[in-house]
Amino acid sequence: MRVMGVDPGLTRCGIALVESGAGRAVTALDVDVVRTPTSMDLAERLLAVHTAACHWLDTHHPDVVAVERVFAQNQVSTAMGTAQAGGVIALAAAQRGIPVRFHTPSEVKAAVTGSGRADKAQVTAMVTRILGMQTKPKPADAADALALAICHCWRGPMAERLAAAQARAVGAGTRNSWVQR
């Protein structure tokens, strides 16, 4: 499975491509950070992020896109920009029929380090080790995008099976509700 991991942001948006193999084997195929200056108009910044996402999607053809879910941040403007960047990436994937899955930061940290409270240095160190990289990915946005992709490789298939089972259970309950009356 090829997973495009995205650490959304307006100033720096990390994008990575990871391929899963047998067991927990994962290989980094590409990683980059899209940067936009704060002096640029918001619409132009979003267009730059969208254009980069479209290029990645059309070049790498991932099976799924894993995006960091925005849950809460101290600065509302930062949270808004992060959510907007994630939105244009989700849009680009949806336009191509590529599924998008969202993962919380603590879920990603727990997947790669074993602790949902790990700091950025710990995440970067584990990503470097898991992928067998010679040097740490920089900046942190690149490491975070790789971590998102790894998280989805390891947790996504199980989450998909669970969601499908829950949907079947709900459907079965609806079909059989007349029997219980």
Provide the annotated binding site for Mg(2+).
Answer: 7, 68, 141
Tokens of 96: 């191509």
Which residue among 68, 119, 144, 160 is the active-site one?
68
**β 26-35/2-7 pair status:** unpaired
Question: Is residue 141 annotated as a catalytic residue, yes or no?
Answer: yes
H or E element: which one contains 19? strand 12-20
Which residue among 58, 141, 144, 160 is the active-site one?
141
Q: How far is CA 74 from CA 35, 41, 68, 108, in A?
A: 22, 23, 17, 20
Which residue among 7, 30, 58, 63 is the active-site one?
7
In contact, 18 and 132? CB cutoff 8 Å: no
CA 151, CA 158: separation in Å to the nearest integer? 11
Annotated binding site: 7, 68, 141
CA 147, CA 91: separation in Å to the nearest integer? 22
Catalytic residue annotation: 7, 68, 141
